[in-house]
Each structure stands twice: as C-alpha cells, then as structure tokens.
Amino acid sequence: MTFKPLLHRLVNSPYLDLIGVTIVVAGSLSLHYHLDRVTHTLSLLGCVSILSTSMSLMSTRLVSRQKNLGNVIGVFTALSSAVIDFLLGIRSAWLTYPISMLANLLAALKWQRGVKVRSYDTLYWIILMASMLLGALLTWLGARLASTDTFNNIVAWCGLQPSGPITMSTSLFVTTSLITGFAFVSNTANILKYEETWLTWMCYNLTRLFQSLLTLNIANAIKYIFYIFNAVITFIDWRLSRAPSSAVQEHTPHDPQH
C-alpha cells in the first residue's frame, strides 16, 4: 500500500479519535479540572468543561475527516466554552467566541451544500490579514474590559507578571493576539475548506505548546502535541486529496492530436 492511502486511513482512523479523547480526559483529570479549587470536591462546572474539551477534540477530528458533523459540534462547543470561561471570570469571552460560533455555523451550511478542498488564493490572504488584525484588536479591547482580578488570573495562567490593572505587557499582548488571530484565520478558512486551514492550526497549537512548556504544564503540552500531529497529517491528506482534480484542470486545454 502506498503512502497516500495509508495516510488517508490514519487521518480517518477512529483509533486516533480514541487516543485524542484519552489524552484530553487524562490530562484534565491530572490537572484536577474535575474538582472544586476550594473544597476539592467534584465540580459540575469542571466536569462539563472536560466534556466540552473532549467534544472540541472530536469536532476537530471530524473536520479532519471532512465530516460536516464536526462543524455542527463546533458551534455547540464554542457556545459551551464561552459560557464556561465567563463563569470562571473571563468576562471578555463574549468578544471572541461568537466569532468562532458564527464561523462554525457558516462552515456547516457551506459544507452541507458541497465544497471541495482548495488551495490559497487572494481571498485567503485577505482572510489571513483581516483575522490577525481582528485578533489584535479584540485582545486589546478584552484587556481594557477585563476586571483587575480576571486580568491577573489570565496573566498568571500565561506564566507572566501583570504590568497593571488594565494594561498588558508586550509579550502577553503579542502571544494572546497570535493565538486569537490564528484561531480566527483557521475557523474562517475552514468555511471554504482551504487546506491552509491546518497550517494556521499548526501555528496556533505551536504557540499553545510553547505557552504550556513555559508554565511546565505537561498535560496541556501533550494535548497540543497531539493537535499538531493531527494538523500535520490532515494538511498533507487534504493536499493530496486535492492534487488529482488540480492535475485534471491543468490538462483541460484541447489537445490538437485528439
């Protein structure tokens, strides 16, 4: 069996889904996300958060396999993540999650009508630049709107020191802007099934991995390594699946010998 069908089987393997969910759940349990931070008893919000994270991974895996159900699940996981973050005190959550929900909804509607994998074009670069600018703008606005306690919690989570109640250090601003921007690019590009969607997901997860390693959060680091692996094999699989149609288009002109 050649490389292409082997890779396609790997991308579409349900065992890879199982491995991913196991990594997410095991990592969440090791970090005690299922326990209340004060009473150390079982937390309903924590359990819902773990379930939401697992569903988010399944959404990613289904989209990797070009299953529209992944986009549908993505709408609900974005909604649940927004509610969870808001309840945890991240009051700027309403700034970014609606964009993710809208992008997943549009992707579900677009994919339902039928859309083929495509490569970058002028529209993709417009999406890239606009999404990165929007990410920076919303990062700045979120820092301005966040309360002192919420902001300090975010800064502590990132392993950095707060520079003031409603100010943001340059390193934190750049990191958060990149993470937000990469997510916007990926979610928007996915609507039109750009294969480069997975390149920006790689960038997103590499940034998250770097962040996790800085804070010695090994459980999260392993999770993002899995996401990076999935993005790499999916990018290659989508590119290879597009190649035959591109080759046909390149030989479309009339051959005078026939």
pLDDT at position 255: 42
pLDDT at position 62: 97
pLDDT at position 128: 97
pLDDT at position 168: 58
Residue 140 in any domain: the answer is yes
Answer for the pair 138, 180: CB distance below 8 angstroms, yes or no.
yes
Write out the H or E segment, with its range, that includes residue 4: helix 3-11
* pLDDT, tens only, 36-56: 777 778 888 888 889 999 999
Position 165 confidence tier, pLDDT thresholds 50, 70, 90: very low
Mean of per-residue pLDDT scores for the chain: 84
Residue 179 in any domain: the answer is yes
pLDDT at position 87: 78
pLDDT value at 9 more than 80: yes
* pLDDT, tens only, 180-213: 999 999 999 999 999 999 999 999 999 999 988 9
- Looking at 114-253, list the stretches that DSSP marks H as alpha helix, in order from N- to C-terminal side: 122-145, 148-157, 170-191, 197-214, 218-250
pLDDT value at 163 more than 50: no
Share of the chain above pLDDT 70, in %: 82
pLDDT at position 256: 40
Q: Which residues of 6-25 are buried (b: 16+ CB within 10 A; e: fewer)?
A: ebbeebeeeebbeebbebbb
Q: By residue range, what is the domain housing residue 128?
A: 8-240
Residue 246 in any domain: the answer is no
Q: What is the DSSP string of 41-89?
A: SB-HHHHHHHHHHHHHHHHHHHHHTT-THHHHHHHHHHHHHHHHHHHTT
> Which residue type does 190 have?
N
Residue 1 in any domain: the answer is no
Answer for the pair 184, 139: CB distance below 8 angstroms, yes or no.
no
Residue 185 in any domain: the answer is yes
Q: Report which DSSP code applies to 166.
A: S
Residue 148 in any domain: the answer is yes
Residue 256 in any domain: the answer is no
Residue 2 in any domain: the answer is no
Rounded to an integer, what is the distance from CA 109 to the centroid of its chain? 19
pLDDT at position 149: 53
Q: What's the CA dihedral at 91, 72, 244, 239 to 10 degrees?
A: 20
- Residue 244: CB atoms within 10 A of its CB come to 9
Q: Report which DSSP code applies to 23.
A: H
Number of domains in the chain: 1
Q: Alpha-carbon distance 164 to 119, whole Å?
A: 43
